[in-house]
């Protein structure tokens, strides 16, 4: 028996991991907004499933919801195929309709059931430990945890079984189709998985957090690596960190757990966005900076090489001359000279500059490049 | 149909307010939504409306006021920030637009939830009514809200008319606009800001989730009927306004019919109707056109075959069996029907029990068609 605090973190982590797995493929396949659409429309499936079974715990609700997810995708594609509206507009048309129908059904026929729209959008993780999964009188774990683990395992299975197919259909649809991998089947399979995940997760964390957990960690991982397998692992890791970190923030300021988890995914992404080793903003700025000095030194060396041994060499090799010829600010010119000297490209005699042997080679290579 | 409800529209204060508010929202989001749809930013509306939540919460936290104008200002600023964040992510990294949109949507909304729950635990909890922005509670609209909405909307529409030419250029050919010296970036920011206004104006009536439909649907419906921007904007405004009023009326008629969803369903029905029946673009129209073309091709084929046969004989008196024509025309079928049509048009005639030939008029037509095709 775990303490409720630990249980909440465990549930959140499991769900974060389960969401990150299909999320990677949504992000890579440019279908991220489909998760937003699906996480809203599954409500309709749940409502219809509930009307059929009159039981909020029935597995039929799951199936109904997953089917509505697939229905959403099919409707979007049906509208796309008419070419009457553009693709983004098709998504924007379909999911509000299905969501509206669900809202009306709930408020009209299920007003007194525990099925309100706020809970769907926002979720309440804090109460998850009190809803127990009991088998033969033994209290095993919170229901949300059991569901989360099942979904995580399902997603893991889907991705390991169809890893090659998913990879191919994601990066080269044409090749996948020509090799007989049925990218359409993969596509719908993935959408089914996304739907199941959305249903399983939204109960605990709400549909908006599902979107955050599906998109933000893979987006961050996408900036960190070029390898699919690494991206999946990193996404899961970032998702779990966001989940646990979000829980503690919520605990600390006494606010919505789902909301803080979503915020935390944003913070994680922000950190990666700034500090990713190769693609982060800081790395980009440093690379820019380095390239600027490199280029200036190349210019200087080429300039000296060009005039070396000519009658104007004396005039052209003065430091003051650089400010005029290259249009460099004096401070910048001095800095370039300092860097070039310390790199052994040039040496200084009085206020004249001359190339070293290394500098001469460097300059002629720079010209050829 | 309960016509009583129409009478109540003029006498019942609440119903009138809600209907006016919904109509205002429909007109504003319909007109400005056109630009979002044309510029492929349909889902930006979805992201912005979710992103407005932290703005509303922060505006309340900082000012402690629930004046609609202040809350809407907060919402607009947040929606604007979200758009900026999204665009910088797309510009500075290899992350694509859809991911950036979804990211901004979910993270801003999550942050808004944190703020909202934080506010709810404040001791002087005067936060009641804040969450009507979330899910849309048209019934909570009062006259002051509608006046604010109309005022903001009027400003936005006036700006749209003022910059009509510029926005048109921006939507269809920004590069050309830039080459002509228009400040395209500034115009882009202005137009995006107008869309943000349209969104925040609608939040209270239809809620965060359904707001995107109010941006996309009227424009998508109007697009089917015309290729002209002016007409499209006007139609979208009209569709949006109509859906607003109709939604308010229908939802007043039954229990549990929330206004937002009803408006969305109504406008979506208009979209469906437009996609099916709009002349030139509509699905039904296209299908009819395809059928007509197919018939015409079949007809021309039979006419051509009869002509080819007549060339083998001295006069048009010589009749040809339908079976011959069927063999010549093996893949197309419908020879009998084509012959009958040709007969009613006076281009072919029967000269025996199973003997068909061209009339002089038909021969002329066939020659013309041949000239048209090969000449």
Domain ranges of chain A: 4-276, 282-368
The confidence band for A1, taking pLDDT boundaries of 50, 70 and 90, is very low
Q: Does the pLDDT value for residue A184 go beyond 90?
A: no
Across the interface, whether the CB atoms of B106 and A265 are under 8 A apart is answered yes
CATH of the domain at B124: 1.10.3470.10
Across the interface, whether the CB atoms of A107 and B262 are under 8 A apart is answered no
Whether B177 and B305 share a structural domain: no
* Domain A282-368, architecture per CATH: Orthogonal Bundle (1.10)
**Per the domain annotation, does B222 fall within a domain?**
no
Whether B187 and B310 share a structural domain: no
Q: How far away is chain A from the Cα of B88, in angstroms, using its nearest Cα?
A: 11
Across the interface, whether the CB atoms of A281 and B92 are under 8 A apart is answered yes
Residue B254 to residue B257: CA distance in whole angstroms: 6
Q: How far away is chain B from the Cα of A293, in angstroms, using its nearest Cα?
A: 22
For A266, the closest of B40, B111, B115 (CB atoms) is B111
* Distance (Å) of CA A273 to CA A223, B107, B274: 7, 14, 43
pLDDT tens digit sequence for A77-101: 999 888 888 888 899 999 999 999 9
User: pTM of this prediction?
Assistant: 0.85
Radius of gyration of chain A (CA): 30
CB < 8 Å from A in window 191-230 of B = 209-210, 212-213, 215-217, 219-220, 223-224
Sequential pLDDT tens for chain B (375 residues): 556 666 776 777 888 888 999 999 999 999 999 999 998 888 888 899 899 989 988 998 888 877 778 888 898 899 999 999 998 999 899 999 999 999 999 999 999 988 888 887 776 655 556 666 666 777 778 888 889 889 999 999 999 999 999 999 999 999 999 999 999 989 988 998 899 889 888 887 888 888 889 999 999 999 999 999 999 999 999 999 999 999 989 988 877 788 889 999 999 999 999 999 998 888 999 899 999 998 888 888 888 888 888 888 777 777 888 888 888 876 667 888 888 888 888 888 888 888 888 888 888 888 887 776 654
Phi-psi region of A83 (alpha: psi -120 to 50; beta: other; left: phi over 0): left
Interface contact A97, partner B, CB < 8 A: yes
Q: Which of B196, B214, B232 lies at the terminal end of a domain, its last residue?
A: B214
**Per the domain annotation, does B112 fall within a domain?**
yes
Domain extent, residue B365, equals: 285-374
ipTM score for this prediction: 0.87
**Per the domain annotation, does B58 fall within a domain?**
yes
Query: Measured on CA atoms in the order B289, B290, B292, B296, is the torsion positive or negative?
Result: positive
* Distance (Å) of CA A189 to CA A18, A25, A169, A262: 16, 12, 12, 26
Residues of A in contact with B52 (CB under 8 A): none
Q: Under a CB-based contact definition with an 8 Å cutoff, are residues A285 and A353 in contact?
A: no
**Per the domain annotation, does B360 fall within a domain?**
yes
The encoded tokens of residue A64 equal 């109904």
To which H or E segment does residue A106 belong? helix A87-109
Q: How far away is chain B from the Cα of A86, in angstroms, using its nearest Cα?
A: 7
**Structural domain count, chain B:** 2
Paired with A142 in beta bridges are A132
> What kind of fold does domain A4-276 have according to CATH?
ABC transporter involved in vitamin B12 uptake, BtuC (1.10.3470)
Across the interface, whether the CB atoms of B114 and A265 are under 8 A apart is answered no
Across the interface, whether the CB atoms of B256 and A104 are under 8 A apart is answered yes
CATH of the domain at B291: 1.10.10.10
**Per the domain annotation, does B36 fall within a domain?**
yes
Q: How far away is chain A from the Cα of B339, in angstroms, using its nearest Cα?
A: 34
Per-residue confidence (pLDDT) for residue B117, from 0 to 100:
83
pLDDT tens digit sequence for A24-68: 999 999 999 999 999 889 889 888 888 888 776 677 888 888 889
To which H or E segment does residue B307 belong? helix B283-311
For A97, the closest of B98, B223, B265 (CB atoms) is B265
The encoded tokens of residue A145 equal 């945890």
| Nearest Cα residue to B307 out of B374, B373, B375, B365 | B365
Whether B207 and B128 share a structural domain: yes
Residues of B in contact with A282 (CB under 8 A): none
For B268, the closest of A93, A122, A212 (CB atoms) is A93
């Amino acid at each position: 028996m775990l303490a409720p605090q630990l249980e909440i973190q465990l549930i959140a982590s499991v769900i974060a991991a389960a969401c990150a797995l299909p999320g990677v493929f949504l992000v890579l396949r440019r279908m991220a907004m489909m998760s937003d659409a699906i996480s809203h429309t599954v409500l309709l499936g749940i409502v219809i499933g509930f009307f059929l079974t009159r039981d909020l715990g029935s597995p039929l609700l799951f199936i109904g919801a997953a089917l509505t997810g697939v229905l959403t995708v099919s409707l979007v594609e049906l509208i796309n195929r008419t070419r009457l509206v553009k693709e983004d507009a098709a998504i924007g048309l379909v999911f509000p309709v299905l969501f509206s129908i669900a809202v009306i059904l709930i408020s009209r026929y299920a007003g007194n059931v525990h099925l309100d729209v706020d809970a769907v959008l926002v979720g309440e993780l804090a109460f998850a430990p009190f809803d127990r999964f009991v088998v033969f009188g033994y209290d095993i774990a919170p229901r949300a945890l059991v569901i989360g683990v099942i979904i995580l395992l399902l997603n893991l299975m889907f991705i390991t079984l169809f890893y090659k197919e998913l990879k191919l259909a994601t990066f080269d649809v044409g090749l996948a189709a020509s090799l007989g991998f049925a990218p359409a089947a993969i596509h719908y399979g993935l959408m089914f998985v996304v739907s199941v995940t959305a249903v399983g997760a939204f109960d605990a964390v709400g549909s908006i957090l599902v979107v955050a957990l599906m998109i933000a960690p893979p987006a961050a991982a996408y900036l960190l690596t070029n390898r699919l397998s690494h991206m999946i692992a990193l996404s899961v890791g970032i998702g779990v960190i966001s989940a646990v970190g979000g829980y503690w923030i919520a605990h600390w300021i006494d606010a919505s757990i789902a909301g803080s988890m979503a915020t935390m995914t944003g913070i994680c992404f922000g950190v990666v966005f700034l500090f990713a080793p190769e693609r982060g903003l800081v790395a980009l700025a440093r690379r820019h900076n380095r390239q600027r000095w490199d280029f200036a030194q190349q210019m200087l060396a080429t300039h000296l090489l060009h005039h070396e041994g000519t009658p104007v060499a004396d005039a052209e090799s003065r430091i003051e001359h650089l400010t005029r010829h290259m249009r460099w600010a004096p401070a910048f010119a001095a800095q370039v000279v300092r860097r070039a000297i310390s790199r052994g490209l040039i040496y200084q005699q009085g206020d004249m500059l001359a190339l070293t042997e290394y500098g001469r080679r460097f300059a002629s290579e720079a010209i050829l490049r | 149909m309960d016509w009583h409800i129409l009478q109540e529209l003029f006498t019942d204060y609440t119903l009138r307010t809600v209907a006016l508010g919904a109509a205002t929202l429909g007109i504003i989001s319909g007109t400005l939504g056109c630009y979002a749809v044309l510029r492929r930013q349909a889902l930006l509306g979805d992201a912005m409306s979710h992103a407005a939540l932290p703005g509303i919460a922060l505006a309340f936290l900082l000012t402690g006021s629930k004046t609609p104008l202040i809350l809407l200002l907060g919402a607009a600023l947040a929606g604007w920030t979200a758009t900026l964040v999204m665009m910088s992510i797309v510009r500075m990294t290899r992350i694509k637009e859809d991911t950036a949109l979804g990211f901004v949507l979910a993270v801003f909304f999550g942050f808004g939830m944190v703020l909202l729950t934080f506010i709810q635990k404040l001791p002087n909890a005067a936060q009641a009514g804040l969450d009507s922005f979330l899910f849309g509670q048209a019934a909570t609209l009062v006259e002051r809200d509608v006046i604010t909405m109309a005022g903001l909307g009027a400003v936005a529409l006036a700006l749209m008319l003022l910059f009509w030419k510029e926005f048109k250029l921006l939507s269809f050919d920004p590069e050309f606009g830039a080459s002509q010296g228009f400040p395209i970036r500034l115009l882009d920011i202005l137009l995006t800001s107008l869309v943000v206004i349209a969104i925040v104006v609608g939040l209270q009536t239809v809620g965060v989730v359904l707001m995107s439909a109010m941006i996309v649907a009227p424009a998508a419906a109007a697009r089917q009927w015309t290729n002209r921007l002016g007409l499209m904007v006007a139609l979208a405004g009209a569709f949006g306004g109509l859906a607003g009023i109709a939604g308010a009326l229908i939802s007043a008629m039954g229990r549990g019919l929330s206004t937002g969803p009803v408006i969305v369903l109504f406008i979506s029905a208009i979209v469906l109707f437009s996609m099916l029946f709009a002349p030139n673009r509509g699905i039904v129209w296209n299908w009819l056109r395809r059928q007509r073309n197919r018939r015409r091709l079949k007809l021309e084929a039979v006419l051509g075959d009869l002509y080819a046969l007549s060339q083998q004989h001295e006069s048009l008196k010589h009749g040809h069996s339908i079976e011959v024509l069927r063999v010549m025309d093996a893949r197309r079928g419908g020879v009998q029907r084509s012959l009958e049509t040709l007969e009613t048009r006076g281009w072919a005639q029967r000269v025996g029990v199973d003997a068909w030939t061209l009339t002089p008029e038909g021969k002329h037509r066939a020659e013309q068609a041949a000239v048209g095709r090969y000449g």
